[in-house]
Amino acid sequence: MTESAPDRQALLLEKLLEPGPMVAVELRPPRSNLQAGKSMEAWIDLHHSLSRLTSEELFVFLTDNAVGEAEEESLAHVAANLGDEADLRRIIPILTAKHSLEYCLMFASRAISGGFDALTVLGGDQSVGPKRCVPHGRDLRELIGASLPELILGGWVNPHQDAIEQAGFLHAADAHSDFALTQIVSHHSLPEVERFLNVVDTTLVPVVFGVFFYRSANPSTLEELNKFFRVPGEELTRDFQAGASPEEICAESIRELRRIGAEKVYVSNLGNRGAARRLRRILELV
């Protein structure tokens, strides 16, 4: 965890340190290679969802090259187009190290000057896209924290990996993380999550567990997703074959994670159009 100071605070961190459940959302900016008309339409959808979600006092994580595809830079669009429609403290940009160091440091500076008070800083998938400007996300968090100590910074952990090793990464003196997001988990990975929870101190570094909204059990889609995170393909196929809806499957993951103590989650893949409505249907089933 980064060193504390009296003036270091963020709305997200306040919520994460409160007892009880929390549900956030992860959204993706439009791809940078969209045609002008489609790009404008995609940004309008995103802005509507951001406005609706934040007005309902939810937090939104905005990705950065989430699956190796170049995405539009989020800060300028969000700050310029949302205006007073959204509390920017409820929007947490995700920055990967897969840019120049100069860009990364400028991104962080622009974030805090634009009204954002927290930033998630990750290394980024090394198998796709540009190379990292520093070896690990912690290196970039250290550099950002040195120049912008008031900015709350988030890191990354993976409950599917060795729990003790991941806890070591999370609690290391050089982690420079005030909170952390996890790789995608589900009700089909509860043993791994339980092992992780047994060795981490989430009161010291709060953890937000990732849950994916699977729309179907299409084999090619699941195979593609499995390149980026562990997908329980056979189990999901059985869930869908048994008649469960995408909302019911997602709700079961949230419900079961809460049962074992993973109360803070973010939901990914809701889409930029109608994300708030889709999340509401899921939470009605939790």
Q: Quick one: three-class SS letters along the chain? A: CCCCCCCCCCHHHHHHHCCCCEEEEEECCCECCCCHHHHHHHHHHHHHHHHHHHHCCCCEEECCCCCCCCECCHHHHHHHHHHHHCCHHHEEEEEECCCCHHHHHHHHHHHHHCCCCEEEEECCCCCCCCCCCCCCHHHHHHHHHHHCCCCEEEEEECCCCCHHHHHHHHHCCCCCCCEEEEEEECCCCHHHHHHHHHHCCCCCCCEEEEEECCCCCCHHHHHHHCCCCCCCHHHHHHHHHCCCCHHHHHHHHHHHHHHCCCCEEEEECCCCCCHHHHHHHHHHHC
Residue 107 in domain:
yes
Residue 6 in domain:
no
Residue 139 in domain:
yes
What pLDDT, on a 0 to 100 scale, did the predictor assign at position 194?
A: 98
The CATH number covering residue 75 comes to 3.20.20.220
Higher model confidence: residue 272 or residue 86? Answer: 272
Residue 1 in domain:
no
For the segment 197-248, what is each residue's pLDDT rounded down to a tens digit? 999 999 999 999 999 999 999 999 999 999 999 999 999 999 999 999 999 9
Read off the pLDDT band of 67 (50, 70, 90): very low
Residue 3 in domain:
no
Domain that holds residue 98: 11-285
Read off the pLDDT band of 6 (50, 70, 90): very low
For the segment 134-187, what is each residue's pLDDT rounded down to a tens digit? 999 999 999 999 999 999 999 999 999 999 999 999 999 999 999 999 999 999
Left (φ > 0), alpha (ψ -120 to 50) or beta: where does 278 sit?
alpha
Please provide the size of the chain in residues: 286
Read off the pLDDT band of 4 (50, 70, 90): very low
Tokens of 199: 């060795």
pTM for this structure?
Answer: 0.92
Residue 168 in domain:
yes
Percent of the chain with pLDDT over 90: 75
Residue 2 in domain:
no
Tokens of 227: 């390149």
What pLDDT, on a 0 to 100 scale, did the predictor assign at position 73?
A: 64
Residue entry with tokens 């980024």: 124
Q: How many domains does the chain have?
A: 1
- Render 160-199 in DSSP notation, one character per residue: TS-HHHHHHHHH-TT---SEEEEEEE-TT-HHHHHHHHHH
Tokens of 174: 């050089």
